Copies of this chain bind each other. A is one copy, B any other.
Amino acid sequence: MSAPTLQTGADGRLRHLLTVEGLPRPRLEELLNTAESFLGVTQREVKKVPLLRGKTVVNLFFESSTRTRTTFELAAKRLSADVINLSVSTSATVKGESLLDTLRNLEAMHADIFVVRHGTSGAAHFIAQHCLPHVAVLNAGDGRHAHPTQALLDVFTIRRHKPNFDQIKVAIVGDILNSRVARSQIHALTILDTAEVRVVAPRTLLPVGIESLGVKVFTDLTQGLAGVDVIIMLRLQKERMRGALLPSEHEYYRQFGLTEARLQGAHPEAIVMHPGPINRGVEIDSSVADGARSVILEQVTNGIAIRMAAMSLIMGTRTQDGREVG
């Protein structure tokens, strides 16, 4: 058993989901296995189980993201929880209430889960450190730091196509420097003993010392994709274009955009992934995004199951509910 952390607690069970980094492999696989059982629920006639009935999930979004919020809202409702959506920049902080006071108030209202999205790295950890024992925190993206449910749904999706991580090569392509998604993916893939994890990006979008995470670095797309089993394209934030980091959208696409031609260099059965939303014609060509090797929409479907799994597991450590899926 690993040492207790903020998110796994003394008994080693999952209390919060803050980051993939340092998550013991059994915990990560428990999440994937639980999600597997929830996939069935989302395909049923009645897409609902009573696991979190009477529980209150608060979507605490300090950074707006309708798409991500919707996936958590759907996951919570399919677990029969009550959901409150709070867009915090437009509410309490208007009256000058501090983050901690907002938390204390929501705790006093008997919220059970905070789904936290914040522009500052470490925000979800901060909240988990300061919240009451009965409250669980789910990190829905914090600054450049982590986006654990995204990385989990990604390895979940990979596992359904390539179950043996120790035999596959995965390339993550794009803005590694600014991506909390990439960081979390690298950690998840490493925990699962992936044979080879590559990052592929222009030098200006690679963080210094990235090799220390155990990845192979490529600045050429053709070389980076050679023989890989999984290609994960990252979204290019258009804001980056304005700065000096990148020459132009067109130039980026020419060098790092995933086209049918580029895809030829990968393993013939390679799958193509993207966390969405896609910039068609910037980081990926439409024919690839919509093509036979793309599993991009499976990722979305799997994302609901992963979020249901995370919510039910972190609540399971606080209640007598058990974790059986009805």
Contacts and interface: CB of A to CB of B under 8 A. Distances in A.
Interface of A: 42-48, 53-56, 64, 66-67, 70-71, 73-74, 77-78, 82, 84, 86, 90-92, 94-98, 101, 104-110, 238, 276-280, 297-301, 303-304, 319-321
Contacts of A301: 108-110
16 contacts: A48-B53, A48-B54, A54-B78, A56-B77, A66-B86, A70-B109, A78-B82, A97-B277, A98-B280, A101-B280, A105-B277, A105-B297, A105-B300, A107-B297, A109-B300, A109-B304
Interface centre among A92, A298, A319, A320 (most CB of B within 10 A): A92
Interface centre among A67, A90, A107 (most CB of B within 10 A): A67
A205 to B, nearest CB: 19
Contacts of A45: 54, 319-321
Contacts of A64: 91, 94
B108 A277 contact: no
Count of this chain's copies in the oligomeric assembly? 3
A308 to B, nearest CB: 12
A238 B104 contact: no
Contacts of A109: 70-71, 74, 300-301, 303-304
Contacts of A91: 64, 66-67
Contact of A105 (B67, B101, B105, B321): B67
Contacts of A278: 97, 101
A168 to B, nearest CB: 24
A92 B277 contact: yes
A244 B128 CA distance: 43
The 7 closest A-B CB pairs, nearest first, are A46-B54, A66-B91, A108-B300, A97-B277, A48-B54, A108-B297, A77-B82
A235 to B, nearest CB: 8
Given A105-B300, A108-B299, 4 more contacts: A42-B110, A96-B277, A105-B277, A108-B298
Contacts of A279: 96
Nearest to A98: B280
